[in-house]
């Protein structure tokens, strides 16, 4: 049995499983492995130092898989923004047909650039109102992120069990469920709640092909569902990261009434986070992680993971749930 949804049809993929775009992780090694296994792999534009480097990475990924893959472009609030339009042009010229976007309202400029080229836009949202706004603006697929997710879960604190069906009640275009999903149970639950596929980030970090240090992968296995910290709450830019000595220190400093972002900036700088991912020094910086760590018990290949998810989901639908019907 296979799961066929509007998402699999629109993206041209075998299984309704998407690898989220992750800074410092979304390289060709991981994206191609996910796509080859029947899901949708994703390259992360801002992981590359320049639009030309992204062009090269797209070509490298294409040499590793003939199947569809996406490029993630996340527009961040920053004083010195990168060349977002340059990255978008690199994706267009590289023949990429799927773009995953996230971030500030300026991301609409990216949509306006790519849509005339027949590119499918998959946009990540953390609230129903944002999903409806993206739908009105012409996005093709929504990835709705519950409070359990790694990265930025928004400021509403709505978990997936509520957010996914609340969005499904109002959004007409296909939706992916994201946040707290890492196995076949999560896929079946997402489909039952009204989504038509799943988007996983943290779970794909704990795979053989993820181009990060084995110490980081081991930490995902070691941590349980309590192994995250929420940081930047004070600054209305909440982020969920893995629990380690550095994120503990960030929480401690932020709790001081007089503290400012400048007090924690050296601890959360992107450069030191990238060093952590590559060096395996788990006290070097912060690393992204979701509550799904409590469901991660091994480091399989992407193919093993996807086949397990689909196999378990099929068994749940046919055997466990089917057996409950009177």
Residue 37: is its pLDDT beyond 80?
Answer: yes
Do 172 and 139 meet the contact criterion of CB atoms below 8 Å apart? no
Do 177 and 199 meet the contact criterion of CB atoms below 8 Å apart? yes
What CATH number matches the domain at 6-209+301-321, 3.50.50.60, 3.40.50.12590, 3.30.70.1150, 3.20.20.70?
A: 3.20.20.70
Spatial distance between the Cα atoms of 295 and 301, rounded to a whole number of angstroms? 16
**Secondary structure (3-state) at 301:** coil
Do 141 and 7 meet the contact criterion of CB atoms below 8 Å apart? yes
Spatial distance between the Cα atoms of 118 and 219, rounded to a whole number of angstroms? 40
Q: Which pLDDT tens digit goes with each residue over 137-170?
A: 999 999 999 999 999 999 999 999 999 999 999 9
Spatial distance between the Cα atoms of 20 and 32, rounded to a whole number of angstroms? 13
Picking from 219, 262, 260, 259, the residue whose alpha carbon sits closest to that of residue 243 is 219
Q: Give the range among 3-17, 209-223, 312-326 with minimum mean pLDDT.
A: 312-326
Residue 275: is its pLDDT beyond 70?
Answer: yes
At 1, is the pLDDT very low, low, confident or very high (cuts 50, 70, 90)? low
Do 142 and 173 meet the contact criterion of CB atoms below 8 Å apart? yes
What rounded mean pLDDT belongs to the chain?
Answer: 96
Do 160 and 194 meet the contact criterion of CB atoms below 8 Å apart? no
Spatial distance between the Cα atoms of 239 and 235, rounded to a whole number of angstroms? 10
More confident residue, 313 or 2: 313
Calculate what percentage of the chain has a pLDDT beyond 70: 100
Start and end residues for every CATH 3.20.20.70 domain found in the chain: 6-209+301-321
Q: Which pLDDT tens digit goes with each residue over 96-141?
A: 999 999 998 899 999 999 999 999 999 999 999 999 999 999 999 9
The pTM assigned to this predicted structure is 0.96
* Residue 97 φ/ψ, nearest 5 degrees: -110, 0
């Amino acid at each position: 049995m296979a799961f066929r949804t509007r998402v699999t049809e629109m993206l041209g993929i075998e299984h309704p499983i998407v690898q989220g775009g992750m800074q410092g992780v979304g390289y060709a090694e991981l994206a191609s492995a996910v796509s080859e296994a029947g899901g949708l792999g994703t390259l992360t534009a801002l992981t590359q130092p320049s639009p030309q480097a992204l062009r090269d990475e797209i070509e490298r990924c294409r040499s590793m898989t003939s199947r569809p893959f996406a490029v993630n472009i996340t527009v961040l609030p920053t004083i010195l923004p990168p060349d977002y339009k340059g990255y978008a042009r690199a994706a267009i010229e590289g023949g990429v047909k799927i773009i995953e976007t996230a971030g500030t309202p300026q991301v609409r400029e990216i949509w306006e650039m790519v849509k005339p080229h027949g590119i499918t836009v998959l946009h990540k949202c953390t609230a129903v109102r944002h999903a409806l706004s993206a739908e009105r603006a012409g996005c093709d697929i929504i990835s709705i992120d519950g409070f359990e997710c790694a990265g930025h879960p928004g400021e509403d604190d709505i978990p997936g069990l509520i957010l996914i069906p609340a969005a499904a009640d109002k959004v007409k275009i296909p939706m992916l469920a994201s946040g707290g999903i890492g196995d076949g149970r999560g896929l079946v639950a997402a489909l039952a709640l009204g989504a038509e596929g799943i988007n996983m980030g943290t779970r794909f970090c704990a795979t053989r092909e993820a181009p990060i240090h084995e110490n980081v992968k081991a930490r995902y296995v070691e941590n349980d569902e309590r192994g995250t910290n929420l940081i930047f709450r004070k600054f209305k830019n909440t982020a969920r990261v893995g629990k380690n000595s550095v994120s503990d220190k960030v929480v401690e400093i932020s709790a001081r009434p007089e503290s400012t972002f400048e007090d924690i900036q050296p601890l959360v700088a992107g450069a030191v986070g990238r060093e952590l991912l590559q060096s395996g020094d788990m006290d070097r910086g912060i690393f992204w992680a979701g509550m799904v760590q409590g469901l991660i018990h091994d480091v399989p290949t992407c193919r093993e993971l996807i086949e397990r998810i689909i196999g378990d989901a099929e068994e749940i639908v046919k055997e466990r749930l089917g057996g409950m019907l009177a």
